[in-house]
């Protein structure tokens, strides 16, 4: 058992969080992670309307009596999102933990705090983590350059970002981006984090709702099979390298605008990848950590293995390296 400030704050057994994931963070996966002793997170915007989110929260409650959270990703979108209505549902339904991401959560904090919601903000820079701490979030999750999705524009990998954050932050924080096994958890704890957040690793689990061919593509993928989309637009996203993402990157590199790639990068095409298993059907999110994914376990098997391996690393491998003076 590994107990940290994050297991205490969130009321979970294992310091492992399943980050919000568009089209993936649904009741089956979130409840499986929570039942396995981690924190499962529903992704609010995967639900087309706030009322759909209400149903998904209720469905999750039927599948687990353990703590789970809801991710609220606030990013520029083509169609305006009724964020306030999603927040109303989160509060109405008595959700205790919210993961905010994308932009400053300050406008929503007073309402969350009024309802004693634990807010964990996901960000990609130490300065943003410190700002989140200043405005009153309870914890942060800090994503290194390796991560799936939005790594920000600073390109600082976890090996520097995590200890740099540990030096400055007072509140609990979890390391995110590139974590997929017990070695990663042990490393994150050694670098000063209170746990890990994982995305890619959870996409390739038995309870993940994506097509089996997508899970297999992650098992087959290497650390070289991602690409940074939208870089010239300063809205960088790490996605799977395929014909569609390469074409979109080329168009933008030649001076194209978002409108020139919109037909390629549409979220609906990414969703098609997940539902049909055609991994060339669109642009889809995945991280470098796919290189560390070699199987498709249940969440219970995965979390047990990660914690046991991390404990083994501390007890045997590392303890055995320390020489005691004669
Ligand atoms: C398929 C997929 C979809 C994602 N969608 C979101 C999202 O909607 N909001 C969000 O905050 N993060 C999203 N992420 C990022 C994850 O929550 C997490 O921060 C990231 O995956 C960590 O890096 P890793 O994949 O190396 O574990 C997504 C990740 C994946 C793999």
**Ligand 1 proximity of 31 Cβ (cutoff 6 Å):** no
- The average pLDDT across 4-10 equals 98
**Ligand 1 proximity of 282 Cβ (cutoff 6 Å):** no
Enumerate the CATH 3.20.20.70 domain ranges in the chain, comma separated: 5-209
Considering only CA atoms, which of 204, 208, 186, 210 is closest in space to residue 196?
A: 186
**Ligand 1 proximity of 289 Cβ (cutoff 6 Å):** yes
Share of the chain above pLDDT 70, in %: 99
Number of C-beta neighbours around residue 111 at 10 A: 14
Residue 321 Cα to ligand 1 middle (Å): 35
Dihedral, CA of residue 106, residue 114, residue 18 and residue 207, to nearest 10? -130
- The average pLDDT across 201-225 equals 98
Asked if 238 and 287 touch (Cβ cutoff 8 Å), the reply is yes
Residue 326 Cα to ligand 1 middle (Å): 49
**Count of positions (residues) in the chain:** 326
**Ligand 1 proximity of 274 Cβ (cutoff 6 Å):** no
- The average pLDDT across 300-314 equals 97
- The average pLDDT across 265-279 equals 97
pLDDT value at residue 326: 63
**Ligand 1 proximity of 197 Cβ (cutoff 6 Å):** yes
**Ligand 1 proximity of 203 Cβ (cutoff 6 Å):** yes
Going by pLDDT thresholds of 50, 70 and 90, the confidence category of residue 185 is very high
**Ligand 1 proximity of 285 Cβ (cutoff 6 Å):** yes
pLDDT at 325 over 90: no
Q: How far apart are the first and last CA of the chain?
A: 32
Residue 135 Cα to ligand 1 middle (Å): 24
Pick 5-209's CATH classification: 3.20.20.70, 3.40.50.970, 3.40.50.150, 3.50.50.60.
3.20.20.70
pLDDT at 322 over 90: no
- Pairing mode of beta strands 139-143, 118-123: parallel
**Ligand 1 proximity of 194 Cβ (cutoff 6 Å):** no
**Ligand 1 proximity of 207 Cβ (cutoff 6 Å):** no
Residue 43 Cα to ligand 1 middle (Å): 10
pLDDT at 127 over 90: yes
pLDDT value at residue 323: 79
Share of the chain above pLDDT 90, in %: 95
Tell me the DSSP string of 68-83. Answer: EEEEEE----SS---H
The best mutation among 149, 181, 215 to test binding of ligand 1, ranked by most ligand atoms within 8 Å of the C-beta, falls on 149
**Ligand 1 proximity of 181 Cβ (cutoff 6 Å):** no
pLDDT at 228 over 70: yes
pLDDT value at residue 123: 97
Going by pLDDT thresholds of 50, 70 and 90, the confidence category of residue 320 is confident
What are the pLDDT digits (tens) for 165-178? 999 999 999 999 99
Q: Which of 75-84, 99-108, 213-222, 317-326 has the lowest mean pLDDT?
A: 317-326
């Amino acid at each position: 058992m590994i107990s940290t400030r994050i297991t205490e704050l969130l009321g979970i057994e294992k310091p492992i969080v399943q980050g919000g994931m568009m089209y993936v963070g649904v009741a089956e996966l979130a409840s499986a992670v929570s039942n396995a002793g981690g924190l499962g997170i529903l992704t609010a915007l995967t639900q087309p309307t706030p009322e759909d989110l209400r149903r998904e929260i209720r469905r999750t409650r039927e599948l687990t009596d353990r703590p789970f959270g809801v991710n609220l990703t606030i990013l520029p979108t083509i169609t305006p999102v009724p964020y306030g209505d999603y927040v109303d549902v989160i509060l109405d339904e008595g959700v205790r933990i919210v993961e905010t991401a994308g932009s400053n959560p300050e406008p929503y904090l007073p309402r969350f705090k009024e309802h004693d919601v634990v807010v964990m903000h996901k960000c990609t820079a130490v300065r943003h983590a410190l700002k989140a701490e200043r405005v009153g979030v309870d914890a942060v999750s800090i994503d290194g350059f390796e991560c799936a999705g939005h790594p920000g524009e600073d390109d600082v990998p976890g090996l520097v970002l995590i200890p740099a954050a540990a030096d400055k932050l007072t509140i609990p924080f979890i390391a995110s981006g590139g974590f997929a096994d017990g070695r990663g958890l042990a490393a994150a704890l050694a670098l000063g984090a209170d746990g890990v957040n994982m995305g890619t690793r959870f996409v390739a689990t038995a309870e993940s709702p994506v097509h089996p061919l997508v899970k297999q593509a992650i098992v087959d993928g290497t650390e070289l099979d991602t690409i940074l989309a939208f870089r010239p637009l300063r809205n960088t996203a790490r996605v799977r390298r395929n014909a569609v993402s390469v074409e979109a990157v080329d168009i933008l590199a030649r001076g194209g605008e978002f409108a020139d790639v919109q037909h390629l990068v549409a979220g609906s095409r990414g969703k098609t990848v997940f539902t049909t298993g055609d991994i060339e059907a669109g642009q889809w999110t995945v991280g470098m950590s796919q290189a560390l994914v070699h199987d498709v376990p249940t969440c219970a098997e995965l979390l047990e293995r990660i914690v046991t391996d991390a404990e083994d690393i501390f007890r045997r491998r590392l303890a055995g390296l320390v020489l005691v003076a004669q």
